[in-house]
Amino acid sequence: MDEETFLRRLDAAPRDDALRLTYADGLTARGDFLRAAVAARAVAAGHPDLPQLARRVADLRAVAPPAWVRRAYPELADDDAREVVFRWLLGSQYGLGTFV
């Protein structure tokens, strides 16, 4: 399956982490970002691994072009209000800055 097909399927099912991880397997650094973001979302708030996972997402976010993130993981897109909340929650709880 080509990249555009994966992105169209993610557009249709934005919470489908299984599809997102399958797509990530075909990528390099951007795939690492997707895997880290899925892992961070999978752990419960307050879990001891969450700060490390959140930092990994933040570090890897820098290699992902904003337009691509909007398609591959809309919850973490720069222009999405959910990311503002995500940054605020993690930043205030774990001392993280921005993802960019």
Q: Answer whether residue 98 shows pLDDT above 50.
A: no
pLDDT at res. 10: 92
Nearest to 7 by CA among 46, 49, 91, 65: 65
Are 88 and 94 in contact by the 8 Å Cβ rule? The answer is: no
Q: Answer whether residue 73 shows pLDDT above 50.
A: yes
Averaged pLDDT for residues 8-28: 90
Are 64 and 78 in contact by the 8 Å Cβ rule? The answer is: no
First to last CA, the chain: 29
Q: Which tens digit of pLDDT belongs to each residue from 30-54? A: 888 888 889 888 887 788 988 888 8
d(CA 99, CA 18): 23
